[in-house]
Amino acid sequence: MTLIEAILLTVITASTPLLIAAIGELIAERAGVLNLGVEGMMIMGAAAGIAAAITTGSSAAGVAAAILAGMALAAIFGLLVLGLATNQVAAGLALAIFGLGLSGVLGAPFVGVPRAGIGKIEVPFLSDIPFLGPLLFRQDPFVYASFALVAGVAWFLGRTRAGLVLRACGENAAAAHALGYKVLRIRFLALLFGGACAGLAGAYLSLVLTPFWTSGMTSGRGWIALAIVVFASWMSWRAVAGAYLFGGVTILQLHAQGAGVPIPPQAMAALPYLVTILALVLIMQARGGGSTAPAGLGTPFVPDR
């Protein structure tokens, strides 16, 4: 039971940044914008978060800096794809590369500088319950925030007029514009939310998961977050299953290596990404090659045309 509990705790830790980043990207894509720059936003959030936390001595300042860094890159991306109507795929890839490079420069003075991580929140009495207590009632604030985000996004998209308008912008921007809605403004706000979530996910990496900075510490998590949105069919609660599936695969391959499974470590390290590709292929086959993506996803919209 102790081993199972330890594995589940590490699965939660590995899955939380994936879920936070995926839920932000889900909102952006439901608005019709394909943001492939999530990896760059996450790594910038990690760099800005650890830099601000070490400089000020405040974890709250680190989290705020990470969110602002993610939003700043999202604003640049929005200027390119919404203001200038550039290709979203090319701009997103460029943003990812830009974020990886800039984060290396920003984080260089803080390489190897240790810092105490953010502690866990313990719910009185409930956290002492055997097995379930540590799993459900003794977690860091980011874990609880991730589920709050999922619940909030599910309610927003399914129960509010604003959520309906956002989905309309993703399905048919021209029709939404004809009804008087500010499509570009709505998409820009959705991008800012996605950038904030990506920055928050990055802060989790450098302030909680491994409380120090190292270049490239996102290790492709931004790309997995993009795959989770597709895996979840653009539905928020399904994103939870996707994030914990991929997080679980990551942890299990680490335990398999520790147990001495006779498989090359390079192959084991590639397992989460192979599972991501396999899951996407199976999903497409199950849909008969079709897609449940928003109809206007990735299509630029210029109101004057």
- Give pLDDT, residue 288: 60
Most confident of 88-97, 109-118, 215-224, 294-303: 88-97
Q: Would 194 be classed as within a structural domain?
A: yes
DSSP state of 111: B
Please count the structural domains in the chain: 1
Q: Would 147 be classed as within a structural domain?
A: no
At 218-228, the pLDDT tens digits run 988 999 999 99
- Give pLDDT, residue 305: 55
**For 144, phi and psi rounded to 5 degrees?**
-65, -35
Q: Which comes out higher in pLDDT, residue 108 or 264?
A: 108
Q: Would 260 be classed as within a structural domain?
A: yes
The arithmetic mean of pLDDT across residues 74-78, rounded, is: 97
Nearest in space to 301 (alpha carbons), one of 24, 6, 88, 10:
88
Q: What is the CA radius of gyration of the chain?
A: 19
Please tell me whether residue 138 adopts helix, strand or coil conformation. Answer: strand
At 17-40, the pLDDT tens digits run 999 999 999 999 999 999 999 999
Nearest in space to 52 (alpha carbons), one of 68, 65, 69:
65
- Give pLDDT, residue 77: 97
At 200-219, the pLDDT tens digits run 999 999 999 888 898 889 98
Q: Would 138 be classed as within a structural domain?
A: no
Q: Report pTM.
A: 0.93
Q: Would 272 be classed as within a structural domain?
A: yes
| Average pLDDT, rounded, for the chain | 90
The torsion angle over the Cα atoms of residues 130, 136, 138 and 143, rounded to 10 degrees, is 160
Q: Would 149 be classed as within a structural domain?
A: no
Q: In this prediction, what percent of the chain has a pLDDT beyond 70?
A: 96
Domain of residue 82 covers: 2-112+158-286
Q: Would 136 be classed as within a structural domain?
A: no
State yes or no: pLDDT of 43 exceeds 90.
yes
At 121-174, the pLDDT tens digits run 888 888 888 888 888 888 999 999 999 999 999 999 999 999 999 999 999 999
- State the Cα–Cα distance between residues 191 and 78, nearest whole angstrom: 7
Q: Would 239 be classed as within a structural domain?
A: yes
CATH number of the domain enclosing 99: 1.10.3470.10
